[in-house]
Amino acid sequence: MSEEITYAAAGVDTAEGARAVDAIKETVHSTYRPEVVGDIGGFGGLFSIAAAKGMEDPLLVSGTDGVGTKLKVAQLVGKHGTVGIDLVAMCVNDILACGAEPLFFLDYIAIGKLRREHVAEVVAGIGEGCRQAGCALIGGEMAEHPGVMDPDDYDLSGFTVGVVDRPKMLDPESVREGDVLIGLASSGLHSNGYSLARKVCVEGKSAEELLAPVDALDGNSVGEALLTPTRIYVKQVLSVLAECPKAVRALAHITGGGITENLNRALNSQVNAQVDLGTWPVPAIAKYVCEAADLSEGQALKTFNMGVGMILIVDPDRVDEVEAALAKAGETTYRVGRIVAGAGEVEYTGEGNLYGYEG
């Protein structure tokens, strides 16, 4: 007689999966909004569209993304509590670019060997990201992949849906010559450029080396600096859009491709964005990585956010109003340039002054 080979014997522990779901319930519940219907555990997440009732022409806006190879840093140093924030941030900041309010979020965790404590740590970060963004975590999937992934390996992806009233939607076609660029400070590299950062700062180093203090990073370690979570700008920006209607023309989320390859996405074909280098501080970790890679200014500006996580394109007559509203929301801002006549491209002034901010 042949020996019975169960699913667990093949490497998938459904009982541990059930325990992991129990371990994350409190985190999930902490993100709920009044529109959430039911609870986790069903075949689909339920969410009322009541938030759109007062809108003239509501549009659903969706976004999906992952964390990328930043996860490899987390896995190497054994710190998994913040990458979930990154996951939420990459999705909700994207849909914010058209003025949308994120309503709910779903995650997908692919993991070599499922352990409830590990999953609970990751999901705690996802829950924190959802609370920062004001959206509900209404579902997700934990998939164990024995034989495909190493036991300690995992990957994350996420999906968000938001809503915006079409008449209030931010639109690059409304951008015009003379508009002002307001940059919002980033917290570091956020979740982009990590294949390069890992190559020059992580490869060949032990966890102990990556957690040792570094003077050039203000006493922080490389591991800590690289794992600083992506900032979520949702509540601050939405409050400004509500307080200063029509003052913000368009918005760019500065992700992979840096300022050069993201700010142009908020332009129309009749204008350029002229960015003044040296008008904002570059985070220590960004300078550290760029120096380690011997990156030129041009390459740095199309690889990393270099200290600016979002750029608002603002009516010049209302810049003071918008800056005051952002300050009221607790946001640090910098006037980083202007809109000029052009063809939908990003240009720079002050070449050689990227690291020259003096405050």
Any idea what the CATH number is for the domain that residue 253 is in?
3.90.650.10
In angstroms, the first-to-last Cα distance of the chain is 78
Residue 105: partners with Cβ closer than 8 Å, 6 or more residues away = 31, 88, 91, 92, 126, 129, 130, 133, 135, 136, 137, 138, 158, 159, 160
40 shares its domain with 188: no
161 shares its domain with 176: no
State which amino acid sits at residue 166: R
62 shares its domain with 178: no
Phi and psi for 5 in degrees, rounded to 5? -115, 110
Last residue of a domain, one of 168, 201, 230: 168
229 shares its domain with 319: yes
Strands (E), 260-302: 271-276
What is the mean predicted confidence (pLDDT) over 136-150?
A: 92
Average pLDDT, rounded, for the chain: 95
163 shares its domain with 191: no
pLDDT of 309 reads 98
Last residue of a domain, one of 103, 138, 168: 168
pLDDT at residue 1 greater than cutoff 80? no
User: Does residue 354 form part of some domain?
Assistant: no
pLDDT of 50 reads 85
CATH code of residue 138: 3.30.1330.10
Please report which confidence band the pLDDT of residue 3 belongs to, taking 50, 70 and 90 as the band edges.
confident
What is the mean predicted confidence (pLDDT) over 89-96?
A: 98
pLDDT of 14 reads 75
- Per the CB < 8 A criterion, the answer to whether 201 and 189 are in contact is no
Last residue of a domain, one of 139, 168, 197: 168
Predicted TM-score (pTM) of this structure: 0.94
161 shares its domain with 181: no
What is the mean predicted confidence (pLDDT) over 311-323?
A: 98
Q: How many residues does the chain have?
A: 359
Q: Which domain holds residue 81?
A: 7-168
User: Does residue 1 form part of some domain?
Assistant: no
Q: Count of domains in the chain?
A: 2
User: Does residue 2 form part of some domain?
Assistant: no
- Give the C-alpha separation, 59 to 162, whole Å: 8
Q: Provide the percentage of residues in the chain whose pLDDT is more than 70.
A: 99
